[in-house]
């Protein structure tokens, strides 16, 4: 009887995930559109964390955001403000959104607005800053702040106008096409970014902005293969959030890291809102010249929402070239994808892997299967330097700590015991 309840709940959760239809419907100012946002709130990646426990890159991003907002003049004054308790620190996941790496967002930043057309829920994400010295990796020098100001002043408003001319953009189809073209939606997004630019470029040209602004925006997007990552992430978030709070479901709807802890949330445990956390792991990968694991911060970022929805690391077989960035061989990429079928409830009917005869990607991580098999979800990700202000130092493969899944399963069993079902 209990197993029937659980399986039926997981069938329902998977159905909701598969039926999700994420669309890009707008761009707005974080303060104006993100639920619960205030002028003195900083949103961050991962489960909840306090300033005293924040990792180097997260601290750097928070300090940079305060400088960008004009709430602090420099590192010292930003630190004092963060230590004072005047600034509210809250996970993006508590505000229907996601953020890559440190994931820090402040009131003035432009954000993508994604709607799950099937179920009516929304998600949000900042616009991608590009590569090099960027806030999401904890850098906060003048170059970083100036770029953020340009994104607020030009990039966000121009793309907002262009999107209004284009109309809502179907992200589910975009992601499906990406997977057919050698992307996996997390660390390889070349084709997805190209398709986005192709779709939006005519409307960029038709905006009321100056010609130079139009040129700068197109060049900026074209120079950044990861631009569309900030669309795949909230698309996955909107898809998974619709499956939260299904009684008796053991499907994972959130995986996230703040650079100190890894956290998961499960659909059928306390409405899908309870966090199960453990210390974040170090990433096994390739390092930029001059850096090694000694320089690395533990795993960080909300981008693992892609794996949670069945793409990213789960879809590496679609993107064998990813190994040039994260290490390993093309066969390793295939093996990673195939092993994930052992810990999921089903397969995606739209996101398919050509190399596996168009088999759907493994979808719906089941905490029972993770614990029973000992197989942990695979994640491909960037590596941030442990010190604030440095930035990215490499990329690689990481697995979550098993304790998150064990603790979640224990809580699930205790819930069943309280209800007299076991």
Comparing CA positions, the residue from 224, 173, 177, 182 lying closest to residue 316 is 182
Comparing CA positions, the residue from 290, 235, 267, 341 lying closest to residue 14 is 267
Query: Out of 6-10, 21-25, 288-292, which region has the weakest mean confidence (pLDDT)?
Result: 288-292
Query: What does each C-alpha distance from 104 to 55, 58, 258 come to in angstroms?
Result: 13, 8, 10
Span 129-140, average pLDDT: 91
pLDDT of residue 390: 82
| Cβ atoms 178, 192 nearer than 8 A | yes
Span 259-273, average pLDDT: 98
pLDDT of residue 98: 98
**Dist CA 281 CA 378 (whole Å):** 12
Span 156-169, average pLDDT: 98
Best CATH choice for the domain 244-418 from the list 3.90.1700.10, 3.30.70.141, 3.40.50.80, 3.40.1160.10: 3.90.1700.10
| Cβ atoms 149, 57 nearer than 8 A | no
**Dist CA 274 CA 410 (whole Å):** 13
Give the residue, 133 or 414, on which the prediction is more confident: 414
Q: How many CB atoms lie within 10 A of CB 290?
A: 7
Please report where in the chains the tokens 């398709």 appear, as a residue: 195
What confidence category does residue 275 fall into, taking pLDDT thresholds of 50, 70 and 90? Answer: very high
Task: Report pLDDT digits (tens) over 210-223.
Answer: 999 999 999 999 99
pLDDT of residue 391: 80
Token readout for 231 is: 């669309």
What confidence category does residue 388 fall into, taking pLDDT thresholds of 50, 70 and 90? Answer: confident
What confidence category does residue 325 fall into, taking pLDDT thresholds of 50, 70 and 90? Answer: confident
pLDDT of residue 326: 82
Burial-class residue 273 by CB neighbours within 10 Å (0-12, 13-18, 19+): middle
Return mean pLDDT, the chain.
96
Span 115-135, average pLDDT: 95
Query: Out of 107-111, 145-149, 327-331, 387-391, which region has the weakest mean confidence (pLDDT)?
Result: 387-391
| Cβ atoms 193, 225 nearer than 8 A | yes
| Cβ atoms 341, 419 nearer than 8 A | no
**Dist CA 109 CA 98 (whole Å):** 14
pTM of the model: 0.97
| Cβ atoms 278, 401 nearer than 8 A | yes
pLDDT tops 80 at residue 276: yes
Secondary structure, 3-state, the chain: CHHHHHHHHHHHHHHHHHHCCEEEEEEEEHHHHCCCCCCCEEEECCCCCCHHHCCHHHHHHHHHHHHHHCCCCCHHHHHHHHHHCCCEEEEHHHHCECCCCCCCECCCCEEEEEEECCCCCEEEEECCCCCCCCHHHCCCCHHHHHHHHHHHHHHHHHHHHHHHHHCCEEHHHHHHHHHHCCCCCCCCCHHHHHHHHHHHHHHHHCCCCCHHHHHHHHHHHHCCCCCCHHHHHHHHHHHHHCCCCCCCCCEEEEEEEECCEEEEEECCCHHHCCCEEEECCCCEEEECCCCCHHHECCCEECCCHHHHCCCHHHHHHHCHHHHHHHCCCHHHHHHHHHHHHHHEEEEEEEEEEHHHCCEEEEEEEEHHHHHHHCCCCCEEEEEEECCCCCCEEEEEEECCCHHHHHHHHHHHHHHHHHCCCC
């Amino acid at each position: 009887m209990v197993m029937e309840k659980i399986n039926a709940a997981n069938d329902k959760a998977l159905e909701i995930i598969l039926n999700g239809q994420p669309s890009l419907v707008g761009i707005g100012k974080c303060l104006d559109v993100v639920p619960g946002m205030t002028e003195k709130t900083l949103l961050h990646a991962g489960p909840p964390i306090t300033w005293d426990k924040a990792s180097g890159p997260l601290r750097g991003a928070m300090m940079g955001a305060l400088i960008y907002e004009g709430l602090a003049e420099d590192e010292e004054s930003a630190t004092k403000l963060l230590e004072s308790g005047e600034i509210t620190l809250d996970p993006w996941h508590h505000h229907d959104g996601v953020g890559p790496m440190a994931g820090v967002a402040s009131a003035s930043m432009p954000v993508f607005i994604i709607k799950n057309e099937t179920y009516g829920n929304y998600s949000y994400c900042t616009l991608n800053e590009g590569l090099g010295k960027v806030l999401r990796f904890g850098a906060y020098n003048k170059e970083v702040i100036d770029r953020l100001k340009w994104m607020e002043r030009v990039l966000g408003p121009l793309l907002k106008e262009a999107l209004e001319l284009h109309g809502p953009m179907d992200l589910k189809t975009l992601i499906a096409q990406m997977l057919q073209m050698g992307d996996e939606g997390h660390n390889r997004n070349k084709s997805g970014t190209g398709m986005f630019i192709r779709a939006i470029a005519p409307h960029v040209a038709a905006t009321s902005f100056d010609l130079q602004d139009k040129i700068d925006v197109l060049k900026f997007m074209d120079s950044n293969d990861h631009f569309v990552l900030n669309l795949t992430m909230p698309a996955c978030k909107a898809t998974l959030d619709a499956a939260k709070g299904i009684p008796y479901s053991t499907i994972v709807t959130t995986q996230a890291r703040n650079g100190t802890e890894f956290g998961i949330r499960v659909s059928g445990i306390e409405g899908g809102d309870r966090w199960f956390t453990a210390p974040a792991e170090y990433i096994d990968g390739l390092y930029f010249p001059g850096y090694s694991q000694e320089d690395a911060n533990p795993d960080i970022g909300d981008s693992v929402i892609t794996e949670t929805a069945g793409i990213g690391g789960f879809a590496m077989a679609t993107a064998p070239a990813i190994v040039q960035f994260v290490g390993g061989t093309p066969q390793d990429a295939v093996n990673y994808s195939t092993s994930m079928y052992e810990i999921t409830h089903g397969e995606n009917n739209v996101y398919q892997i050509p190399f596996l005869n168009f088999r759907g990607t493994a979808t719906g991580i089941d905490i029972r299967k993770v614990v029973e098999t000992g197989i942990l979800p695979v994640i491909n990700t960037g590596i941030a330097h442990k010190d604030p202000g440095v930035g990215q130092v490499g990329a690689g493969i990481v697995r979550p700590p098993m304790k998150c899944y064990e603790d979640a399963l224990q809580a699930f069993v205790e819930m069943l015991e309280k209800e007299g079902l076991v």
